[in-house]
Amino acid sequence: MDVMPKWAEVVLVPLISLLLAAILSALVILAIGEDPIAAVELMVQGALGSTYGWGYTLYYATNFMFTGLAVAVAFHAKMFNIGGEGQAMLGGLGVALACLYFPWPHWSLALIAATVGAALFGAAWAAIPAYLQAKRGSHIVITTIMFNFIAAAVLNYMLVNVLRPEGSMDPATERFSPTVHLPTLHEILAPFGIEFSKAAPANFSLLVAIAACILVWALIWRTRLGYEIRAYGFSEPGARYAGISPTRIIMISMLISGGLAGLMAINNVMGEAERLVLNATEGAGFIGIAVALMGRSHPLGVFLAAILFGFLYQGGAELALWTSIPRELIVVIQALVILFTGALDNMVRMPLESLFLRYRKGRS
């Protein structure tokens, strides 16, 4: 059945897709009268050429690790969670409530509370679509899309009418107290004698994100629950026959997925902004889709793809700053990655498969 060796499946197909996306992006840059090679140099310089650039790249990557893992876990149960954006927004609300209304003596305690709050709120926002999918058969994709919009309205209401400090015109919460400030990479690395940019927003949440990658790996491939999730994703009738309850798998995998998406808020709300603002997620929930597809739903792949997208994000910001290429170029690249690694997967795979088949026939 397996036509291609595993390395081709895991490495070659995503790389070719990425290459196709890169070629098309280069053509787009050419078409708007800029030099693609100079653009790439500028992006590499801006995103990876200094600890400042790295700090931003890793900050974005932290967001995308969480949302990418969220989409990936749902993918394993053959569900498409487009609601990462809304779940991350609600996660922000959880973080804000945890940080604002309790006098934490130390940031580590606050981080634990914020983590719980973010995960709970994110999971709760995924719970309703999951329940409707499991019990009423409503399509999870449509309900999660709708819940993104409802989340935006809820957040807007909460910020404008409830959480906004008196006298402030800005729809945002007040600043969190300095005691809940998460250590930045500068503060973490300084004791080891490593100079890291002070201005960059990468912070302790990066370590939480890496821990989440490892935990998700362990969950999916090293536990009974993970086996059940994969079995359900592989074949629902098969899983049912083996005594796995679809309702349970749908609920649990979506709760984990929503919780992971919500966790993103400890990075962008607690680690960076240190208050909750409107549109704090900046589309990171959607980038999770591209990251999960690119990373083939494997935590290691998600980790690498998140760093790639972090690089694209920071590099794209530098491009917008120094050239006439607007930031939206990143959205185009993101679209092309989703298109080639997700929707047009077979376009890359079919010729490769026939190539490998011919090679094998020639050998035997």
Partner 1 sequence: MDFLTIIQILDSTIRLATPLLLACLAGLFSERAGIFDIGLEGKMLAAAFFSAATAAITGSVWLGLLAGTLASMVLSALHGLASITFRGNQLISGVAINFLAAGMTVLIAQDWFQQGGRTPSLIGQGRFNAVTLPFADALADVPVLGPIYSELISGHSILVYLAFLCVPATWWLLFRTRFGLRLRAVGENPAAVDTAGISVIGMRYAAVAICGLLCGIAGAYLATALQAGFVKDMTAGRGYIALAALIFAKWRPWHAMFSCLLFGFLQAVALRYQNIHIGDFVIPVQAMDALPYILTVVILAGFVGKAIPPRAGGEPYVKER
Return residues touching partner 1 (CB under 8 A).
28, 31-33, 80, 82, 128-129, 132, 136-139, 141-143, 145-147, 149-150, 153-154, 156-157, 160-161, 286, 289, 293, 324-326, 328-336, 338-339, 342-347, 350
Nearer to partner 1, 143 or 173 (CB): 143
Q: Long-range contact list for 124-128, CB < 8 A, 24+ apart?
A: 124/90, 124/258, 125/83, 125/86, 125/87, 125/90, 125/151, 125/258, 125/262, 126/81, 126/83, 126/87, 126/254, 126/255, 126/257, 126/258, 126/259, 126/261, 127/251, 127/254, 127/255, 127/258
- Shortest CB 183 distance to partner 1, Å: 34
How many Å apart are CA 251 and CA 135, to the nearest integer?
10
Nearer to partner 1, 85 or 228 (CB): 85
Give percent helix, percent strand, percent coil of the chain, each to the nearest 5: 75, 0, 20
Q: Is 125 exposed, middle or buried (0-12, 13-18, 19+ CB in 10 A)?
A: buried
Nearer to partner 1, 66 or 340 (CB): 340
- DSSP letters of 143-165? HHHHHHHHHHHHHHHIIIIIISP
- Shortest CB 283 distance to partner 1, Å: 9
Nearer to partner 1, 142 or 242 (CB): 142
- Shortest CB 202 distance to partner 1, Å: 25
Nearer to partner 1, 31 or 243 (CB): 31
- Shortest CB 281 distance to partner 1, Å: 15
- Shortest CB 326 distance to partner 1, Å: 5
- Shortest CB 350 distance to partner 1, Å: 8
Around Cβ 160, how many Cβ atoms within 10 Å? 13
Nearer to partner 1, 145 or 225 (CB): 145
How many Å apart are CA 59 and CA 83, to the nearest integer?
21
